[in-house]
Amino acid sequence: MELPGIAVAVWMFVGLCASVLGYPNGKVREACTSMVPCHGGSPQLSPEHAITVNGTEFKPGDSIEVRLSGPDFEGFFIQARDAEHLGSPAVGSFVLADRRHSQLLTCGRTKNSAVSHTSKAKKKDIKVYWIAPGDAPKHVQFLATVVKKYRIFWVKIPGPIVSQPDALSPTPPSHATSEAMSTSHPVSHISKPFSASGCGMTKFCIRNPANCDPGSASCFFLSFQHEESSVFIEMSGPSEGYLAFAFSHDQWMGGDDAYLCVNEDHRVHVSTAHLKERSHPLLDAENALEDVSWRFADGVLQCSFRRSVRLPAYTGRFNLDTSYYIFLADGEASEGGLIHKHHRQPLVTDGLYNVTGLPQDIGGSRAPRLIKAHGALMFIAWITTVSIGVIVARFFKPVWSHSFLLGKELWFQVHRMLMLTTVILTSISFVLPFVYRGGWSHQAGFHPYLGCAVMALTIFQPLMAGFRPSRHAPRRQLFNWFHWSTGTTARILAVVTMFLGMDLPALDLPDPWDTYAMIGFVAWHVGTDVLLEIHSYCLIRKVEVIEDDRVQILQSLTSAEAEGHLFKQIVLTIYVCGNIVFLVAFLVAINQV
């Protein structure tokens, strides 16, 4: 299935579906046949708007004035059809009377055979002219779909029937004028929070956080209870907008079977949809769900419904006796029930599951494993190995100058080992997002660009160190300056990159904790650096005073150096322990998302 998105989106949402208001500009050719808005939910049953005409008879080539009027509405769709075969294609063509609020559309092979709105601006009255074709049927009826707002609409409102002269009375069509009426199901209200009782025993459950109580205000809960040929589904979570889950063949959005519970003015609408890549979901005009119930209380949205294990008559509905990845997302919904992309990565199961198989009680993750590994390796490299390696090289040359490891001074070997470890960890971590995304991420802002800069500097540092001049060479000072400036720049960019990466949807560590923790680490490192700089300055001044007094010089110098070395070793020990605490905190946070 980006989610880093959320999945994840949210995923979500203003469809490319066959809709009227789903296309605010009124270009709804895909709705030519059904005239059904793809908004989810069911149409209203009692029309508030009426169609009128200025005549009841016509001959080929005649013009008939058609008016649609009623309370304020946003969208509309008008056609003329054979009154005895309302399922047949549109007949005749229209001419506009007001181009500001109406536009012509071509349905099928008939040019200008339908009229729709040009914008969501409210309107009370629309006037157009219908031109009778040469091959018109004996009787023609005008139909209109009217959208008051996103979730309130009427489908195929029947208008007057106009007939050719001497035509017999029309035979009423054998089916209802509204094809969508059959999608209306009784809706009841849930009286109390869902229960996790039976999870893993009689029903398949997904909970986030793991083992949370569905009655709490922070628990996302999804359960499936297999009952013969159907599955009863419960979904709840803290959201004032919408909750949604989807079945997927992979961990990427696209080609998925989705179910939405959308809160609109404290009324919840339950819909099915189809996910197409990372675009908004295509809401279904027909609803295959039964026993729909909902509840919205104390910021927690609940909905439950039943669907058959197999739905061969509904395109896009998966069979539930097969294993899938399961996504769970939440987000905001605006007026009219229009849902927006989830503001964080969706919860995704770590494997394929059959919800009609063996009952299980599982959790999920809002961050893919490769992205978690990417973040963890970067934190290890730039919070521990780099920081400790810099402190050792900067302040421990005199402390460990007489200690050797493998023929080299100890400080140098420790510094080199830590820096090479940083290069290895950063290189591995750098590759992981590209493996996960399958290429470049265009939705991660500046994070990937800064990450590439950090990677380049990380590689450049050891290459430059390989050409390090000897200690007393004239160019050694220049090398030292370049080595320090390159390393410092890489560290600063790495911290900035981590700041940006922590809030990306693919990882999204807890706010505002992650920001405060990173600020704390930076302050911890800078504070330690400043403390050791001050200590080194004071030690130098103390040695200079001793040399000026010329009293017990050797003994005093040795004593001063010993005190200074002991202090630095204590500070380094405390600093390493502090870094480990920060690292563990970040790793725990990564593991929990």
> Coil, strand or helix: which one is 219?
coil
Q: Find the range with the poorest average confidence among 102-116, 178-192, 331-345, 412-426.
A: 178-192
Token reading at 328: 């769970």
Contact (Cβ atoms closer than 8 angstroms) between residue 334 and residue 340:
yes
Q: Please state whether the predicted TM-score (pTM) of the whole model is above 0.85.
A: no
Token reading at 445: 């802002």
Please provide the distance, in angstroms rounded to a whole number, between the alpha carbons at the two ends of the chain.
18
Four-residue CA torsion sign, 279, 275, 245, 145: positive
Tell me the CATH number of domain 369-592, given options 1.10.4160, 1.20.120, 3.30.70, 1.10.1660.
1.20.120
Residues counted in the chain: 593
Q: At the topology level of CATH, where does 29-163 sit?
A: Immunoglobulin-like (2.60.40)
Strand blocks (E) in 279-334: 282-283, 290-297, 300-308, 325-331, 333-334
Per-residue pLDDT at 184 exceeds 60? no
More confident residue, 96 or 36: 96
DSSP-derived secondary structure letter, 53? E
Domain coordinates in residue numbering, the chain: 29-163, 188-365, 369-592
Q: Which candidate, 210, 209, 205, 192, places its Cα nearest to that of 245?
A: 205
Token reading at 409: 């001074």
Contact (Cβ atoms closer than 8 angstroms) between residue 42 and residue 287:
yes
SS3 letters for 445-465?
CCHHHHHHHHHHHHHHHHHHH
CA distances from 281 to 355, 441, 593 (A): 23, 21, 25
Looking at mean pLDDT, say which of 61-75, 243-257, 311-325, 332-346 comes out highest: 61-75
Predicted confidence (pLDDT) per residue in 82-141, tens digit: 988 888 889 999 999 988 899 999 887 788 999 999 988 899 999 999 999 988 999 999
Contact (Cβ atoms closer than 8 angstroms) between residue 240 and residue 299:
yes
SS3 letters for 355-371?
CCCCCCEECCECCCHHH
Helix 476-501 to helix 513-549 angle, to the nearest 10 degrees?
150
More confident residue, 540 or 440: 440
Please state, as a whole number, how many other Cβ atoms lie within 10 Å of the Cβ of residue 507: 22
CATH class of 188-365: mainly beta
Residue 555: predicted pLDDT: 45
Residue 183: predicted pLDDT: 39
- What 402-405 contacts at long range (C-beta under 8 Å, 24+ apart), as own/partner pairs, is none
* Cα 253 from Cα 315, distance rounded (Å): 18
* Cα 253 from Cα 271, distance rounded (Å): 18
CA distances from 336 to 11, 117, 157, 343 (A): 19, 17, 21, 19
Domains 29-163 and 369-592 share a fold: no
CA max distance for the chain:
133
Burial of residue 331 (number of CB atoms within 10 Å: 0-12, 13-18, 19+): buried
* Cα 351 from Cα 325, distance rounded (Å): 6
- pLDDT band of residue 531 (cuts 50, 70, 90) is very high
Please state, as a whole number, how many other Cβ atoms lie within 10 Å of the Cβ of residue 25: 11
* String of DSSP letters for 161-179: EEE-TTPPPPPPPSS-S-T
